[in-house]
Amino acid sequence: MLRAQLIAAVRELVETHGPDGFSVAEAARRAAVSSAAPYKHFKDRHEILRGVVSEAMDRLRIAMEDGAAAHPIASLEAIAAVGQAYVDFARTEPGVFRLVFGLTEGHENAPDLLAKGANCFGVVVHAVARRLDLRPDDPDVQRRAYMLWSFVHGHAFLTIDMKHKVASAEIDDWSYLMTISRAILAAA
């Protein structure tokens, strides 16, 4: 319970002040616990941030799965919905989204975070495999899933950094995601 309260408090602070702009003491105050309490659950500040990342990756995966499940299996809409969930997560929690992809130091020593990243990518892989009627480990599925993820990831960052506004045309997420899905998943 306290661990979850601290993660929620730090998540809020990351959104407001960035990952470098919060104090553990402020997180403890927001969670209504003593300033020493966080250290009963986390070794240090970095470990608290890793807890925020871990929890965010779980929520992102669930949102992506839910997006796909809201559409017919193997449809382009199911694939675009996975991307929409990804972009929506970035737009709703830009600080946490940046933290997830910026907190890379030590990931090679964090098999739990590596597994969660693989599980998020696995949502894309399985959606592509169903669309192409191939196995998830098929090299073509892996290649196309990676291309989709790259396009969506770039779009998500351009969106939260407000860089997409340099385009002269209005960019509608759903149209963009459907166009990219259609193009990447077209028959070779």
Ranges 3-7, 17-21, 84-88, 95-99: which has the least confidence? 17-21
Residue 153 banded pLDDT, cuts 50, 70, 90: very high
Rounded to 5 degrees, φ, ψ at 184 are -75, -30
Asked if the model's pLDDT at residue 185 lies above 90, the reply is yes
pLDDT, one tens digit per residue, over 27-80 is: 989 888 888 888 888 999 889 999 999 999 999 999 999 999 999 999 999 999
Tell the CATH topology of 1-42.
Arc Repressor Mutant, subunit A (1.10.10)
Q: Look at residue 138 and give its three-state secondary structure.
A: coil
Are 3 and 51 spatial neighbours (Cβ–Cβ below 8 Å)? yes
Element of type H or E holding 99: helix 94-102
Structure tokens belonging to residue 147: 């291309």
* Amino acid residing at 173: D
142 or 40: which leads in pLDDT: 142
Give the pLDDT score at 33.
Answer: 87
For the question of whether the overall pTM of this predicted structure is more than 0.85, the answer is yes
Are 72 and 178 spatial neighbours (Cβ–Cβ below 8 Å)? no
pLDDT, one tens digit per residue, over 15-28 is: 999 888 888 899 98
Cα dihedral value 163, 153, 90, 103, nearest 10: -110
Residue 164 banded pLDDT, cuts 50, 70, 90: low
Domain range annotation of the chain: 1-42, 53-185
Per-residue burial over 47-65, b if 16 or more Cβ lie within 10 Å, else e, is: ebbbbbbebbbeebbebbb
Tell the CATH topology of 53-185.
Tetracycline Repressor; domain 2 (1.10.357)
Residue 168 banded pLDDT, cuts 50, 70, 90: low
d(CA 51, CA 54): 5
